Amino acid sequence: MTCTCGVTCWYLAAFWSFSSVSAKPNTMEYKRIEPATLKIDVEKLAPIYTPELDSLVEIFKKNDFEIRVAGGAVRDLLMGINPHDLDFATTATPEQMKEMFERENVRMINTKGEKHGTITPRINDKENFEVTTLRIDVTTDGRHAEVQFTTDWQLDANRRDLTINSLFMDLDGTVFDYFNGVQHIKERRVIFVGDAATRIQEDYLRILRYFRFYGRISEEANSHDAETLNAIRNNVSGLSRISGERIWTELRKILEGNYAGELINVMIEIGIPEFIGLPKTPNTERFSTVWKNLKGQKYNAITLLAGLISTEEEALLLHKRLKLSAYERDLLLFITLHHERKWAMKPLKPYQAIVALSRDKPKDTKEWTVQLLLHIGQPSMAQQIEDWEVPKFPVNGHMMKEHAPEINGKQLGILGQELRKMWTDSDFKTDAEDLVKHIPHLAEEIKEKFPAKAAKSGKSKK
C-alpha cells in the first residue's frame, strides 16, 4: 500500500504483533531487555541478496559467529526503501574475523576502521562489506569514543544514537528491536535512545544527525518533541568541538532534504548557527524568501545556505569553519556577490554576460549562474541558462598579440576582457574580423592607463 507521502509502506500491513519496550536503556543500572521481533517477508529482501552476501553469511555460520544487518539499512527496509549500503554487526572480534577471512582466502581492504572493530572483506573480488564487532563506548569526549568489544546485542544497540538506527536484522528477515525503533518508524518519530542529553554529549554531531533524520522520517515539518529540542538547546555549544568536515557532511544533507527551510529555522531558534560557522544572527528574512524560491527545485545545498549570508566576509568565515570544497566556496561567493544586482537590459543577457566574461571555468560559472537564478526565484531563466550553448569567443591571444605586439602579459589580459565586453554587448554576434579592428586603439588606451613597469637597471646578482 502507499502512504500519502508517496513512500511504499508495506510493513504497516504486517507483523505488528510485538510487545512495547518501555525500559530506559541509558541508566547506570543495566536492565536486560527482551527484544521485540518481527519478520520481514523474504521477498521484500530480494534486492539486497547477492551471491557475495550469501558467501559472507556462510563464512560466519561456518565459524559459529552471528552476523546481522545493522542500523540504517534495517530502517530503510522497514520503510520500503532499497538501502544504498549494508552495514553488518557481528559477535566475532576483529582478530577472529581476520583469521577466518585469511583461512577462506578473502582479501581485506581499508584497515582504518579496525581499532573501532570494523573489518572490510572483499568477497569474490566483487563486493565489499563493512562488518563491525558489537561494542560498548567505554569513554567519550563529545567527539571520539574508546570502545570495548562485546557479544551482547543489546549493549551495542544501547550505544547508538536514535531508536530508528538501533535495529538489527538476521538474513532470514527477523528484525530485533530493543528500544521501540520499529514503532517510531511507524509513527514517523525521531527519538534518541534513552536520555537525549546523554546521547548528545557522547557525540555532539548527533544534534545535526537528529535534524537530518527528522527530514527523512517525519511527515510533518514542525512536530518536534519539546524535551528533545530542549536537550539540544542546552548542548549546542558542543558543536564547536566538532570538525568542520563532519558538520558539513550532515548540514549538506539537511539543506538538500525534506523541510530544509523549516529545520534550519528551528536550528537558528535554538542557537546552533554561531557554532557551525554561520553569523550569530543570520539573515532569516532573506533565507525564508530563498527557501520559498527553491521549494520543488533541484538545487545545490550552498544555494540555500547562501540565503543566510549577507557579506563576502561572512561567506569566507563560513568556508573557514566548514572547509568547503573550492567549487562550493566559489559558488557561495558568487551568489553573495551577485544576488542583489539589478539590471535594466534584457532579463537574460546580464547572466549570459556573467558566464561569458568570467575568468573561471565556463562550465563552473554556468552552473553557478543556474544556482544563482534558482536562489533569486527565476527557475525558467535558470533553465534557459542551463540549455544555453555558450558561444566561443572568436579572438585568441595570438590574434591580439599580432595586432598589438608591444603590449605585455597584464595588458593583454585587460585587452581580452575589453574585447569580450564588446562581443557580449553585441549579443555575441560580432565576429573576429570586426573585433580585431578595435585592437590598436584599445591597446593604446590600455598602455596609457596601465603603463608597463620600467625594467630595473644594473647587473643582476648571481
Whole-angstrom Cα distance, residue 308 to residue 289?
A: 11
**Phi and psi (nearest 5°) for 197?**
-60, -40
The pLDDT score that the predictor gives to residue 397 is: 86
Lowest mean pLDDT among 137-141, 194-198, 245-249, 354-358: 137-141
Q: Which residue has the higher pLDDT, 218 or 397?
A: 218
Can you say whether the dihedral through the CA atoms of 407, 413, 414, 417 is positive or negative? positive
The pLDDT score that the predictor gives to residue 163 is: 96
Average pLDDT over residues 229-254: 97
The set of residues, in sequence order, having a beta carbon less than 8 Å from that of 459 and lying 6+ positions away, is none
Average pLDDT over residues 45-54: 91
Average pLDDT over residues 204-227: 96
The pLDDT score that the predictor gives to residue 20 is: 33
Whole-angstrom Cα distance, residue 359 to residue 365?
A: 9
Share of the chain above pLDDT 70, in %: 89
Partnered with residue 196 across adjacent β-strands are none
Partnered with residue 107 across adjacent β-strands are 122
- Name the grid cell of 93: 572480534
**Phi and psi (nearest 5°) for 146?**
-90, 125
**205 neighbors 161 (Cβ within 8 angstroms):** no
- Name the grid cell of 123: 568477497
Q: Does pLDDT of 343 surpass 50?
A: yes
Strands 107-109 and 67-70 turn out to be: unpaired
**245 neighbors 203 (Cβ within 8 angstroms):** no
Q: Does pLDDT of 146 surpass 60?
A: yes
**Angle at the Cα of 277 from the Cα atoms of 273 and 279, rounded to 5 degrees:** 60
Instruction: List the one residue out of 193, 189, 180, 231 whose CA is nearest residue 213.
Output: 189
Whole-angstrom Cα distance, residue 279 to residue 16?
A: 47
* pLDDT interval class at 142 (50, 70, 90): low
The pLDDT score that the predictor gives to residue 441 is: 85
The pLDDT score that the predictor gives to residue 29 is: 44
The set of residues, in sequence order, having a beta carbon less than 8 Å from that of 138 and lying 6+ positions away, is 145, 146, 147, 148
Average pLDDT over residues 170-183: 95
**162 neighbors 210 (Cβ within 8 angstroms):** yes
Average pLDDT over residues 28-51: 83
Q: Does pLDDT of 454 surpass 60?
A: no
Average pLDDT over residues 42-46: 87
Instruction: Annotate the chain with three-state secondary structure.
Output: CECCCCCECHHHHCCCCCCCCCCCCCCCCCCCCCCEEEECCHHHHHHHCCHHHHHHHHHHHHCCCCEEEECHHHHHHHCCCCCCCCEEEECCCHHHHHHHHHHCCCEEECHHHHHHCEEEEEECCCEECEEEECEEEEEECECCEEEEECCCHHHHHHCCCEHHHCCEECCCCEEEECCCHHHHHHHCCCCECCCHHHHHHHECCHHHHHHHHHHHHCCCCCCCCHHHHHHHHCCHHHHHHCCHHHHHHHHHHHHCCCCHHHHHHHHHHCCCHHHCCCCCCCCHHHHHHHHHHHCCCCCCHHHHHHHHCCCHHHHHHHHHHHCCCHHHHHHHHHHHHHCCCCCCCCCCHHHHHHHHHCCCCHHHHHHHHHHHHHHCCCHHHHHHHHHCCCCCCCCCHHHHHHHCCCCCHHHHHHHHHHHHHHHHHCCCCCCHHHHHCCHHHHHHHHHHHCCCCCCCCCCCCC
Indicate the domain borders of the chain: 1-187, 344-449
The pLDDT score that the predictor gives to residue 54 is: 94
Domain at 1-187, CATH class:
alpha beta
Q: What is the pTM of this model?
A: 0.80
* pLDDT interval class at 345 (50, 70, 90): low
The pLDDT score that the predictor gives to residue 347 is: 84
- Name the grid cell of 29: 543500572
Instruction: List the one residue out of 168, 149, 191 whose CA is nearest residue 72.
Output: 168
Share of the chain above pLDDT 90, in %: 63
Q: Which residue has the higher pLDDT, 426 or 240?
A: 240
**pLDDT tens digit sequence for 76-132:** 999 999 888 899 999 999 999 999 999 999 999 987 778 789 999 999 989 999 999
Average pLDDT over residues 271-281: 95
Whole-angstrom Cα distance, residue 18 to residue 194?
A: 20
* pLDDT interval class at 299 (50, 70, 90): very high
Instruction: List the one residue out of 276, 335, 273, 279 whose CA is nearest residue 302.
Output: 335
Q: Does pLDDT of 141 surpass 70?
A: no
Average pLDDT over residues 53-75: 95
- Name the grid cell of 217: 522520517
Q: Does pLDDT of 337 surpass 50?
A: yes
Q: Does pLDDT of 448 surpass 50?
A: yes
Q: Which residue has the higher pLDDT, 214 or 136?
A: 214
- Name the grid cell of 454: 620600467
**pLDDT tens digit sequence for 179-211:** 999 999 999 999 999 999 999 999 999 999 999
Average pLDDT over residues 7-31: 38
Whole-angstrom Cα distance, residue 44 to residue 38?
A: 14
Q: Alpha carbon 216 to chain centroid distance?
A: 13
Average pLDDT over residues 207-233: 96
Average confidence score pLDDT of the chain: 87
Lowest mean pLDDT among 54-63, 137-146, 166-175, 181-190: 137-146
